Amino acid sequence: MATPCAQRPRLAVLASGTGRTLQNLLDRIADGRMRGCIAGVSSDRADAFALQRALEFGVEARMLKDPSAIWSWIEELDVDLVLLAGYLRLLPVIPEYEGRVLNIHPSLLPEFGGKGMYGEHVHAAVLAAGRAESGCTVHLCNNVYDDGRILVQARVPVLPEDTAPSLAARVFAAEAEAYPAAIAIRWHELQAGREQPA
């Protein structure tokens, strides 16, 4: 049975993989470093470990692929923000949730974004391009991959000896700080009535 989720902002998380970003958010909420609660977690893959992580925390978890089913579930949950956390599908944003769907991407957008650019594909592309720095971006979602207003960017150096996995680890450490910060920023904007475009 799911644990009560009374604190605002109420959050829904969509993830396609292991759920490391979800785990970071769950841990921060549990120890008081982050305000809010996660009302539900959905994945487009039945074998996504993110679903198991959710269940271990007493959070409702569902495998959903169809966008209309996803939005019906989100509306039932009565959430304030929808968080994409390693979600590899394009989620068409319905009008009621414009400006309320966030995504985190492991590069400094607009560079190294777009369809097919996820995980180690991004870090390998950064290394191949010879960039001196990389990082992560949290942005509001629209109906284009890795597009929308940027809320937070965090930068990390690219070291001469870096491989895609070593760069990925450094970028993920930045993501762990950037996503909670962006969630707080967007929640504050919404509470203050400053409706910013997506």
Whether the predicted pLDDT of 71 surpasses 80? yes
Query: Where is mean pLDDT largest: 1-5, 86-90, 115-119, 149-153?
Result: 149-153
pLDDT above 70 (res 183): yes
On whether residue 196 sits in a domain, the answer given is no
Percentage of the chain lying above the pLDDT 70 cut: 95
Model confidence at 196: pLDDT above 80: no
Bond from prior residue into 67 cis (ω within 30 degrees of 0): no
Query: Is 198 part of any domain?
Result: no
d(CA 142, CA 9): 21
Residue 66 pLDDT exceeds 70? yes
State the burial class of residue 185 (Cβ atoms within 10 Å of its Cβ: 0-12, 13-18, 19+). middle
Backbone angles phi, psi at 120, to 5 degrees: -70, -15
Within a domain: residue 2? no
Active site residues: 105
Average pLDDT over residues 50-63: 95
Could you tell me if residue 135 is inside a domain?
yes
Instruction: Examine residue 91 and state whether it is found in any structural domain, yes or no.
Output: yes
> Is residue 44 scored above 50 in pLDDT?
yes
Domain with 119, as residue range(s), is: 10-191
Q: What is the pLDDT of residue 83?
A: 98
Number of structural domains in the chain = 1
In a domain, 3, yes or no: no
Question: How many CB atoms are located within 10 Å of the residue 155 CB?
Answer: 11
Instruction: Considering only residues 13 and 8, tell me which one the structure prediction assigns the higher pLDDT.
Output: 13
Check residue 1 and give its pLDDT.
39
Residue-averaged pLDDT of the chain:
94
Domain of residue 41, CATH code? 3.40.50.170
Q: Average pLDDT in the 149-169 region?
A: 97
In this structure, is residue 58 part of a structural domain?
A: yes
pLDDT tens-digit series, residues 119-141: 999 999 999 999 999 999 999 99
Q: Is the pLDDT of residue 45 over 70?
A: yes
Residue 197 lies in a domain: no
